[in-house]
Every structure is written in C-alpha cells, then in structure tokens.
Amino acid sequence: QKEVEQDPGPLSVPEGAIVSLNCTYSNSAFQYFMWYRQYSRKGPELLMYTYSSGNKEDGRFTAQVDKSSKYISLFIRDSQPSDSATYLCAMSAGGGTSYGKLTFGQGTILTVHP
Amino acid sequence: DGGITQSPKYLFRKEGQNVTLSCEQNLNHDAMYWYRQDPGQGLRLIYYSQIVNDFQKGDIAEGYSVSREKKESFPLTVTSAQKNPTAFYLCASSIDRYRGHPTDTQYFGPGTRLTVL
C-alpha cells in the first residue's frame, strides 16, 4: 500500500463547476500538507500549503485537512479552463530524519471544458 | 528573476551512456532535490542535499549520482546502471527551515525529459 493515495482521474468538468480533489494517507507523522498544480510538460507549482488540521482559503481554492481521518481535499470553485492541469498532493512529516522529504500522490488530471 | 533552471529541456541517451542533467537556483535556498516523474506514479525522490558537500539517497537512488560543490548547483548523473531511465526529471529547492522558516515548501524547476534511444 502506498503512503499517499490519490485518484488519478481523469476528471472532466464543465466551466463554473465546483471541483473536489482528494488524497488519503497512512503515515500519522505527516503534518505539512501541500497541493501542487502541474501544467503539461512543466514543473509543479505550489498552489496551497497547510499545517496540521483545518481549512485554508485562497481565492477560488480551499484546502482542507482532516488528520483524524488522514484525508485532505482541495476544492476549486467556479472552475475555469485555465485550471486544466494535473493536481498533486504532497505531504511531509518535517524535521528530524525526514527533513524536507515530501511524499507525493500520483496526481489527478483535471480538464475544465468551456 | 529568481528561480530554478534546468537544462537541457530534452535529452536523448544511447544505451550504456552516462548523462548529466543540470540544475541551478538563485533563490539562496540551502536544500535541493531531484525527483523522477513517470506517468501515473507521481514524483519519486532520487537524491536530496541539505547543505553544500552533503547529500542523501532518496527512495530510488540506484543508477544515479549527484554532487553538491556549490550552493547554487546540484547536477544529477544518470548512469548506465539505471535500467529504465526514460522519464521526466524535476529539480527542486527549499529554504533551510532551521534558520527560522517553518516550511518544507519546495519550488520546482521546469524539468528535463530524458529519452533512451
């Protein structure tokens, strides 16, 4: 079993839809949670970053972390064709011997059609 | 402009050859990383370095080697021992959290696509 599981999709939605992307994980030491967006043939760019449990909102994007369920989500409101990309969740235990080591999900391919 | 650059963008290798991928950053970050990305498998860590002249193996280091002689540079060599090197290679860097930055956030370069002929 992988430490981080992410539904690879692909996910296709109409413009304006609310998109929900999810990851589950098994390592209870993870406490830093990130979402990266990766356009085709490009490097990933950091979209959202959260520490421990809770919600964080940034414009049309909301990240949720539920450590008790080992489940994280990214919501995209009013989705746009420019949101079409692969979305990668990543997490880290931070500090100690696992310093700087991110564990990534497989990525979800999202297409928003006009 | 501050950022991470990788070169070349595309690289072709013949069987039995070693090739070196370049990664340079001018963000003054201490830590640097190399990942490999294959379709449907996300990113897997090859090597990482927290400080100059020091580096550690990641999850899939076999067939790869690195050096960290300068803070700005972290080249990756794909050796002939790597049996399946065709992949998209990504370099990343991050601030050293022990200097007071409470984050493991990594920033990525544009990637190098390596193909074995």
Q: Quick one: which of B35, B74, B34 has its CA closest to B51?
A: B74
Mutate to test the interface with A, among B104, B113, B115 (most CBs of A within 10 A): B104
* Per-residue pLDDT at B101 exceeds 50: no
Q: Are B45 and A101 within 8 A, CB to CB?
A: yes
User: Which residues on chain A are in Cβ contact (under 8 Å) with B92?
Assistant: 43
| Range of weakest confidence among A72-76, B88-92, B113-117 | B113-117
Interchain pair B108, A45: CB under 8 A = yes
Nearest to B5 by CA among B26, B27, B23: B23
Q: Predicted confidence band at B100 (pLDDT cuts at 50, 70, 90)?
A: very low
Task: From residue B51, give the alpha-carbon distance in Å to each of A2, A15, A66, B33, B72.
Answer: 29, 45, 34, 11, 10
Band (B97; pLDDT cuts 50, 70, 90): low
Q: Is A25 helix (H, G, I), strand (E, B) or coil?
A: strand
Beta strand extents in A1-114 (DSSP E only): 4-6, 11-14, 19-25, 32-38, 45-51, 54-58, 61-66, 71-76, 85-92, 103-104, 108-113
Chain A residues within 8 angstroms (CB to CB) of chain B: 4, 6, 8, 32, 34, 36, 41-46, 49, 51, 88, 90, 92, 94-95, 99-102, 104-107
Measure the CA–CA gap between B1 and A27, rounded to whole angstroms. 37
pLDDT band, residue A95 (cuts 50/70/90): low
Count of residues in chain A: 114
Q: pLDDT confidence of B42, banded at 50, 70, 90? A: confident
B interface with A, Cβ–Cβ below 8 Å? 4, 6, 31, 33, 40-45, 48, 50, 58, 90, 92, 94, 97, 102-111, 113
Residue A51 has what pLDDT? 82
**Stronger pLDDT, A54 or A100, i.e. the higher one:** A54
- Counting residues of chain B whose pLDDT is more than 90, the rounded percentage is 66
> Cα torsion for B93, B97, B101, B103, to the nearest 10°?
70
* pLDDT at B104 (0 to 100): 59
DSSP codes, B43-100: EEEEEEEEETTEEEE-TT-TTEEE--SBTTB--EEE-TT-S---EEEEEEEE--GGGT
Residue A16: its pLDDT value, please?
97
